[in-house]
């Protein structure tokens, strides 16, 4: 197992290298303007443009810049380790901002995940147990609705209703927990709900499917034949086996969401990683783009590793390859 994990971690490193390399290629090889021009005033002299390039580190050749980027990432820079440089736009160190932004995104993801587990699993379980009933059909229909609804549309719609029309909730944006816990909560409810409803719908469908698969397996039938109480069968066997895949699913989703909440963040004006990446990529802010890219690639790879390990622990049939 140790060797397996090491191999997977090395793979993660390779992914980070490849992904950042691709980012560099897109940034430099594709024909675009020169970001240095934006910081050189409205009548720039070639000398001034050169100065700006030097100050942004854009004066060196592309391979050299990429080498420097990797070197700083590993050995650190004037702002500490890992070396992520400073933003072209704000001239501020990327790292502290990255930490701040990550907090927002993680708040969104964790709150959303708790909510979707709390909704998705019970709904899935009950639907499976009451299979074919009106309750099952209604909950599965609702689930399909939320799987199909575009997140940004649900977001705008909920803002229209709960903020503009009913006035129950404050507007969008992020308020830090430290500054005002109440406002933090009231600002996060809608984003959590909108994110959670989509995933709750997916999870309910998965849990229900798994439960139904398990219920028809031989050992459950045997248990039932042996006269074990229905309550015991459901709790001990069906639930356990039915929910196991959800855990690995959750691990994968959490990883993917680190860079995958762009739309939710945009609609609700949350200044998280996704929103930052969108603005940075649109404005050629290379250091910020790279920093978020690295973080996202690591998150995706690590969480998928965690998912695989959990899967192996929970399901002894799986062997590491």
Partner 1 sequence: MRFRRDRWAMASLVFIGLLVILAFAAPLIATISGHGPNELFRDMTDDFGLPKGPNGSFWFGADGSGRDVLVRIAYGARVSLIVGVVATGVAVLIGVTLGLIAGYRGGVIDTLISRTADIVLSLPLLLFAIGIVTACGSSREGCFGGTVQPGLTLVIIVIALFSWPYVAKIVRGAVLSLREREFVEASRSVGAGDLTIMFREILPNLVSVIIVYASLLVPQNILFEAYLSFLGLGVPDSTPSWGRMISDASDIFDVAWWLMLFPGIFLLLTVLAFNLLGDGLRDALDPKADR
Partner 2 sequence: MRPRKKGTWALLGALVLAGSLGLAACGGDDSGDSDTDGGGDTAAAKGGIYRVGTTDFGFNGGFDPSGEYLGWAWGLYSNLLTRQLTGYRHTEGAAGSEVLPDLAEAIPEATDGGTTWTFKIKKGVKFAPPVNREVTSKDIAYAFERIGTGSVVAQYGFYYNDIVGMAEFKDGKAKTIAGITTPDDSTIVFKTTKPVGDFPFRLAMPATGPFPKEVAGCFTKAGEYGRYLIASGPYMIKGSDALDITSCKTMKPISGFNPTKQLSLVRNPNYDAATDSTERREALPDGFEFIINTNDKDIFDKIEAGEYEDSVDAVPPDVARRYSGDDALKDRLKGNQDDRTNYIYMNLAEAPFDDVNVRKAVNWIMDKDALRKAWGGPFYGEIATHIAPATLYPGSTALDGYDPYATENSAGDLAKAQEAMKASAYDTDKDGVCDADACKDVLFMNRSIDPYVKMTPIIRDALGKIGITVKVRELPTGPAYESSGVIANRIQAGSNAGWGKDYPDASTFMVLFDGRNILPTGNSGYALVGLTAAQAKEFKIDYPKGGVPSVDADIDKCSEEVGNARSDCWAALDKKLMEEVVPWVPYLHVNNTTLLGPAVTKWDYDQFSGEAAYAHVAVDPSKQK
Chain positions contacting partner 2, by CB under 8 A: 31-35, 37-49, 51-52, 54-55, 90-92, 97, 100, 170-173, 269, 271, 282-284
* 320 touching partner 1, by CB under 8 A: no
- Residue from 5, 114, 118, 157 touching partner 1 (CB under 8 A): that is 157
- Residue from 61, 148, 179, 321 touching partner 1 (CB under 8 A): that is 148
Which of partner 1, partner 2, none has residue 139 at its interface (CB below 5 to 8 Å by kind)?
A: none
* 19 touching partner 1, by CB under 8 A: yes
User: How far is residue 310 CA from its own chain's centroid?
Assistant: 19
Residue 202 CB, nearest approach to partner 1 (Å): 11
Residue 148 CB, nearest approach to partner 1 (Å): 4
Applying CB under 8 A, which part among 61-69, 101-109, 154-162, 188-196 lies near partner 1? 154-162
Which of partner 2, partner 1, none has residue 10 at its interface (CB below 5 to 8 Å by kind)?
A: none
What string of DSSP letters covers 190-241? HHHHHHHHHHHHHHHHHHHHHHHHHHTSHHHHHHHHTT--HHHIIIIIIIHH
Stated as kind and residue range, the H or E segment containing 280 is helix 273-282
* 18 touching partner 1, by CB under 8 A: yes
User: Sign of dihedral through CA atoms 12, 14, 20, 23?
Assistant: negative
Of residues 174 and 268, the one with the C-beta less far from partner 1? 268
Which of partner 1, partner 2, none has residue 173 at its interface (CB below 5 to 8 Å by kind)?
A: partner 2
How far is Cα 154 from Cα 164, in angstroms, rounded to an integer? 14
Residue 156 CB, nearest approach to partner 1 (Å): 5
CA–CA distance from 86 to each of 94, 103, 214, 290 (Å)? Answer: 5, 19, 53, 11
Site string for partner 1, 255-274 (x = CB under 8 A): ----x--xx--xx------x
Radius of gyration of the chain, Cα coordinates, nearest whole angstrom? 24
How far is Cα 13 from Cα 6, in angstroms, rounded to an integer? 11
Of residues 48 and 278, the one with the C-beta less far from partner 1? 278
**β strands within the chain, DSSP E:** none
Residue 231 CB, nearest approach to partner 1 (Å): 24
Give me the residue label for tokens 């907090």: 103
Which of partner 2, partner 1, none has residue 38 at its interface (CB below 5 to 8 Å by kind)?
A: partner 2
User: How far is residue 225 CA from its own chain's centroid?
Assistant: 45
Residue 165 DSSP one-character state? I
- Residue from 68, 135, 149, 233 touching partner 1 (CB under 8 A): that is 149
Q: 210-238 burial, b for 16+ CB within 10 Å, e for fewer?
A: bbbebbeeeebeebeeeeeeeeebbeebb
Which of partner 1, partner 2, none has residue 318 at its interface (CB below 5 to 8 Å by kind)?
A: none
CA–CA distance from 273 to each of 46, 105, 132 (Å)? Answer: 35, 6, 42
Residue 151 CB, nearest approach to partner 1 (Å): 8
Query: Cβ(24)–Cβ(60) under 8 Å?
Result: no
Interface residues toward partner 1, by CB under 8 A:
15, 18-19, 22-23, 26-27, 30-33, 144-145, 147-150, 152-153, 156-157, 159-160, 164, 208-209, 212, 216, 259, 262-263, 266-267, 274, 277-278, 281-282, 289, 292-293, 296-297, 300-301
């Amino acid at each position: 197992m140790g060797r397996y994990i090491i191999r997977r971690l090395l793979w993660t490193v390779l992914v980070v290298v490849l992904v950042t390399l691709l980012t560099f290629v897109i940034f430099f090889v594709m024909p675009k303007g020169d970001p240095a021009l934006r910081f050189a005033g409205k009548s720039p002299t070639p000398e001034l443009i050169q100065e700006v390039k030097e100050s942004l580190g854009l004066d060196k050749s592309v391979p050299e810049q990429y080498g420097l980027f990797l070197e700083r990432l590993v050995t650190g820079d004037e702002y500490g380790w890992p070396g992520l440089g400073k933003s072209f736009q704000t001239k501020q160190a990327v790292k502290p901002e990255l930490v701040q932004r990550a907090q927002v995104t993680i708040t969104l993801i964790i709150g959303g995940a708790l909510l979707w587990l709390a909704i998705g699993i019970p709904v899935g379980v009950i639907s499976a147990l009451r299979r074919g009933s009106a309750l099952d059909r209604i909950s599965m229909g609702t689930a399909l609705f939320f799987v199909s609804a575009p997140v940004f549309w649900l977001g705008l719609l909920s803002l229209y209703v709960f903020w503009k029309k009913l006035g129950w909730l404050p507007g969008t944006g992020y308020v830090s927990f430290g500054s005002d816990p109440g406002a933090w909560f009231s600002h996060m409810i809608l984003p959590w709900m909108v994110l959670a409803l989509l995933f709750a719908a997916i999870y309910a469908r998965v849990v229900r499917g798994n439960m139904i698969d398990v219920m028809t397996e031989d050992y459950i039938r045997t248990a039932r034949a042996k006269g074990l109480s229905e309550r015991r069968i459901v709790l001990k066997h069906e639930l356990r086996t039915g929910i196991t895949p959800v855990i690995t699913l959750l691990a994968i989703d959490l990883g993917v969401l680190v860079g995958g909440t762009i739309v939710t963040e945009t609609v609700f004006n949350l200044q998280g990683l996704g929103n930052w990446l969108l603005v940075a990529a649109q404005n050629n802010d290379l250091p910020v783009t790279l920093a978020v890219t690295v973080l996202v690639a690591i998150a995706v790879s690590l969480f998928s590793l965690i998912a695989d390990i959990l899967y192996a622990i929970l399901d002894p049939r799986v062997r590491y390859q």
